[in-house]
Each structure stands twice: as C-alpha cells, then as structure tokens.
Structure 1
Amino acid sequence: MSTIVCPGQRLASVRELQASSGTYHRDGQVYASIVGTKEVDEDASKDELPTVRVVRKKDASSVPEIGSMITGKVIRINPRFATLSIMIVGSVPCRENFQGIIRVQDVRATEKDKIQIYRSFRPGDIVRAQVISLGDARSYYLSTALNECGVIFAQSVAGHTMVPISWEEMICPYTKVVEHRKCAKPTAT
C-alpha cells in the first residue's frame, strides 16, 4: 500500500526499515526528504531489513520540439529578431524558462526582404509560433510564417486590447489608432 508523504515526515524506525532514495535517517528514525509516495521493498534477505523509499510522481514536462506550436511573450526586439519567453508548448504550460527567437526571415513566407521587426512585434505581445529549429544553446528558432501564427494578443499604446483588422494591422477599439503587427489568423477552438 502506498502513502503520500511530505519532507520531514517520520516513516519508521531504523530498527524496522532501512533508508533508501528520497529518505534520510536521524536519531534512529527514517524520514521523508521529498514529497512523494512511500514505498516499502519487502524483497530483502533474512539478514537485511526491508527498505523504504519515497518516489516522486513524474509530472508531464513540456519541452519544445521541432514542429511544435508554442505561445510566448515578446520580451525584446532588435532590427534582426524578436526574443520570446516561451510560456506554453502545444497546450501544456512550461515549468522551465525557455527562450525563442523569431528572425526577420522567419516572420512570414513572402516578401522577406521588406520585413521590419518593429512593424511585426512589440514587447509585451503574445505570439503563437512554430518551432523550426533547436537553435543555439540559449534560444529555440521560431517561425510565424504560417497563417495561424503571429500576434494573438496585443495592447495599444493607450493600454487597451487591440483587435486585428488585417493580417498585418491591429486597431485599438477606443482610440482608433492602427498599429502594425504580424497577426495570427483566428483558429476555431
């Protein structure tokens, strides 16, 4: 029978059970050192005591892979690329911090020589993109060339949520100011 235990919780006496992974012993008692499930291994020989260990449940981890769709927040831009903090891979939130970059040539599929990053993204924009390469040691390479990729949420200079009016423009519904973005085609959910 397995029981969920917390760090510091007493599991047994050292005369009853041997400490193993996820446990420690102090003052003749065995304690849990991590949150997890208590498991007792009864397959010990007659000369040895059974061992107790605490096993951590493996959580689903979201790691970007080539071809996966991500959702990220633009954290900075420069004339050659936009840097994103990857928040979601597919539909699973990231537990670790991953960064991605969208290079000028990966913003859209056509007219690549006319693209200007500051007319496609702004810091704070939420972007849907596709992982096209594992990139370098710091960042994944991302692309918004697909129609369903691009800015999905942006705020105007006045602080209001903007609405897309074409694939390259968004408008503030209050101030009626039009700003340039590489907009994502809405997808059915």
Structure 2
Amino acid sequence: MSAPMVCVPGQRLCREEDKLKAGRGTYTRNSFIYSSLAGPLITTKNEDGMTLVEVVRNAEENVVPSVDALVTAKVTNVNPRFCKCAIIRVGKTTLKDSFRGMIRKEDVRATEKDKVEMYKCFRPGDIVIARVISLGDSQSYLLTTAENELGVVIATSEAGASLVPVSWNKMRCPKTLTEEYRKVAKVQPQYIVYSDT
C-alpha cells in the first residue's frame, strides 16, 4: 500500500463532481476542490454513497515551510540549471514527511551568479541549510543559499568520510586529503543542532 499524498494549503486536488465532494480540510472554488491544510489526502465514503475528499492533520504535523523560513534539505538530484532537494526540517522541527525543494543556479550565491557551476556547489546526499524564497511550480519550494550562513553543512567524500570545510567553496576529505568543491555554509552557532545520529 502506497503512502497517502501529502498536500499543502491551496493545492488543487481534483474536480468536484456529483459523487465527489469536499470534506474536512478542503474547500471548493470554481468547481475544483483545494486543500486548506497541510497533511495527507484521504477519501472516505459517507452513508449517501458520496466520496468525501479530505485532508487530515495531526497536531504535530502542521509545520509547513513558509517564505523566509530556514530549512534543512537533502540534495537528491543535481543538473546544470538547478538541484532538487527533499526538505527534512523547518527551523528546529523535523518533518515526518519531506517537502520538495529546488535551488536554481541563480539562487546559489549572491555574487558572480553567471559563473556558478551546480556540480561544484552541491552533490546528491549533501545536507544543506537554505532559505525559502517562494512556493514554486508543481508544489516544489524555491530555495536560496545566497547568504554566507547558507549552503552545504554535511557532505560525504567519495571515500565515504565526512568532508571538513576548508574555505567558502571547498571541503576536504580527512582520509585522502582530496579537496572537493561545494557551496559551503559558514554555520552560525545558533544553527547548530547537536544530535546522536
């Protein structure tokens, strides 16, 4: 059984029909049903045979990335124009279900934007601190790392070791001493969360 689709507020879910109606956590506009909450989408049948489209939310699952929020994301895919991420944390709150995020080439750093090479900034598996710019297309949040405090905070070298930052654009493998390019975050003490993992 596949996991239910997770919705964000304002997301269009489906067309309202004779046997398909908006239930809890949804609303209707122009004959379409939209989500009014962040949470998993469920459908239930009532005693009249109607199918209700509902979005439910548990009390601890109501954190949604908002514009200007700091998020922690894991890079999943990198190409020359942008990289895709899974947002796993909003502020200090770890999410049960990740949201999709995207860092475009022009949002990587504040200066020399035309010289940015995505493969020298991020690699799949990197953990990044970024800021939400806006809700982009197809439910993917647009993120930026164009501040000194934002960028890669955790990365693994090709030898499997945790990379150590040596400058704003390089990290070094402690095993092989090979340097790899990254858009390195200058982490401020208030952003550090100590964990046992």
What TM-score, normalized by structure 2, do the two folds share?
Answer: 0.66
* Alpha-carbon separation, structure 1, partners of 2:155 and 2:58: 37
Q: Quote how far apart the aligned CAs of 1:57 are.
A: 6.3
Equivalences for residues 6-155 of structure 1 within 5 A: 58-155=59-156
* Alpha-carbon separation, structure 1, partners of 2:186 and 2:58: 38
78-87 or 92-101, which deviates more: 92-101
Match of 1:169 in 2: 170
Q: Quote how far apart the aligned CAs of 1:174 are.
A: 1.4
Please give the secondary structure, in 1, of the residue aligned with 2:59: coil
The one-letter code matched in structure 2 to 1:141 is: L
Identity of counterpart residues, as a percentage?
A: 50
Q: Which runs of 5+ in 2 are unaligned?
A: 1-56, 191-197
> Structure 1 residues 133, 57: closer, same or farther in 2, change over 3 A?
closer
What TM-score, normalized by structure 1, do the two folds share?
Answer: 0.68
Q: Quote how far apart the aligned CAs of 1:136 are.
A: 1.1
Aligned Cα RMSD in Å?
Answer: 1.3
* Alpha-carbon separation, structure 2, partners of 1:146 and 1:62: 24
Q: Quote how far apart the aligned CAs of 1:60 are.
A: 4.8
Aligned length: 134
* Alpha-carbon separation, structure 1, partners of 2:72 and 2:90: 7
Query: Alpha-carbon deviations, 1:88-136, whole Å to 9, x = none?
Result: 0011111223110000000000000000100000000000000001111
* Alpha-carbon separation, structure 2, partners of 1:60 and 1:140: 18
Deviating 4+ runs (over 4 angstroms): none
Q: Which runs of 5+ in 1 are unaligned?
A: 1-55
